[in-house]
A and B are shown apart, each in its own frame.
Chain A
Amino acid sequence: AQSVSQHNHHVILSEAASLELGCNYSYGGTVNLFWYVQYPGQHLQLLLKYFSGDPLVKGIKGFEAEFIKSKFSFNLRKPSVQWSDTAEYFCAVTLSGTYKYIFGTGTRLKVLA
């Protein structure tokens, strides 16, 4: 069965540190990839998405993610985190031609001021 793995369940960083959250999926076909974020007390919201084209995707708030097909990965990065980035981050995959999202278990990021 298709799955999405987020290996880092909890990450603690100091402000200005660089961030990379891992996301790997298991599916050999064409996929669409997403990162969602849930700030404390708020709804899940889309951070960025990849459908095709440039594998380096820019999202909101300075986040970016790189799709590496050979590694089945879509890691999320930010060069310098802020306290306001404290949130839970979810990677998700849809198989091409389908609407069903497969979500990872999420990574809780805490940024220390």
Chain B
Amino acid sequence: GAGVSQSPSNKVTEKGKDVELRCDPISGHTALYWYRQSLGQGLEFLIYFQGNSAPDKSGLPSDRFSAERTGGSVSTLTIQRTQQEDSAVYLCASSLGGGVGNEQFFGPGTRLTVL
């Protein structure tokens, strides 16, 4: 079956512009995660959605970052007024449920470059 997909695969934007990154999780997966991978850094947790529960936004680095998940499926991560330090690979993952025993399946990521 289809895995987690993300679009675009690459995004180059100018400082100050807004960007939207999209994630399509595996069908039937109720949990969805966003991570950021900066050069030389590990994966940094950003936000977590589980079913209809309120998302855990504790990892969002600033109020310029927001995310939504419509209909319990597709998710969009929005970065407003992008800064150069936002340049990174943004990874999305989904799992069958939010429990610890559920393996996370990762998408290919979106490489964001802010000039």
Contacts and interface: CB of A to CB of B under 8 A. Distances in A.
B98 A99 contact: yes
Residue of B56, B103, B104 with highest tally of chain A CB at under 10 A:
B104
A27 B45 CA distance: 18
A102 B48 CA distance: 13
A101 B50 contact: no
A61 to B, nearest CB: 16
B79 to A, nearest CB: 21
Contacts of B98: 99
B91 interface: yes
Contacts of A90: 42-43
A42 B45 CA distance: 20
B106 interface: yes
Interface stretch (A14-22, A44-52, A62-70, A75-83): A44-52
A44 B106 contact: yes
A109 interface: no
A96 interface: yes
Interface in A57-113: 90, 92, 94, 96-106
B101 interface: yes
A16 to B, nearest CB: 29
Contact of A100 (B3, B41, B56, B109): B56
A105 B91 contact: no
The 9 residue pairs across chains A and B that have the minimum distance between CB atoms: A103-B43, A44-B106, A103-B42, A105-B42, A99-B98, A43-B106, A104-B42, A32-B100, A94-B100
Interface of A: 4, 6, 32, 36, 42-46, 49, 51, 90, 92, 94, 96-106
